[in-house]
Amino acid sequence: MPWWLWGIVGIALIAMETHWTRNFTLFCVGASAIIVGVMAGLTNTELWLQWLAFGVLATGTLLWMRDWLATMLLARGDDERELGNVVGQIAVPMDDLPALGFGRAEMRGTTWNVHNATGSAIVRGQRCRVSDVKDLTLWISPE
């Protein structure tokens, strides 16, 4: 396959990734196609070797890079935009929470999953301040 065709396919896949999916699958495959295109342009490689390199690169990036990219580029940014205003608010536990334990608390009229972020127990009804949000769980500590 000509080198420029690998590049066109790679750019098209990356463009589709940014527009539709955002789970980095098409990005990994597209980046692999671009790398194979550069390899084919710089060297005179056989077609079977290009496809073999593409398969190995695509599989490798999907297995080892996709989750890392999603974690580094997507996960933290969404939480900060959507739940950043929760940090510093007051939450009131609905039950006693053991040290480093989990339970439920009320904040702004809504029940939330909470994690006691301290090494001491929190009693029911005690005012607590939210210090962090992880996976829709509020990390709280007594005021």
pLDDT tens, 54-106?
A: 999 999 999 998 888 877 776 554 445 566 688 899 999 999 999 999 999 99
pLDDT over 50 at 124, yes or no: yes
Q: Which fold has domain 87-142?
A: OB fold (Dihydrolipoamide Acetyltransferase, E2P) (2.40.50)
Q: How far apart, in whole angstroms, are the C-alpha atoms of residue 89 and residue 21? A: 34
Q: Which residues contact 56 (CB under 8 A, 6 or more apart)?
A: none
Q: Which residues contact 16 (CB under 8 A, 6 or more apart)?
A: 26
pTM, 2 dp: 0.53
Do the beta carbons of residue 93 and residue 125 sit within 8 Å? yes
Q: Where in the chain is the domain with CATH 2.40.50.140?
A: 87-142
Each residue of 9-58: pLDDT tens digit? 999 999 998 888 778 899 999 999 999 999 999 998 899 999 999 999 99
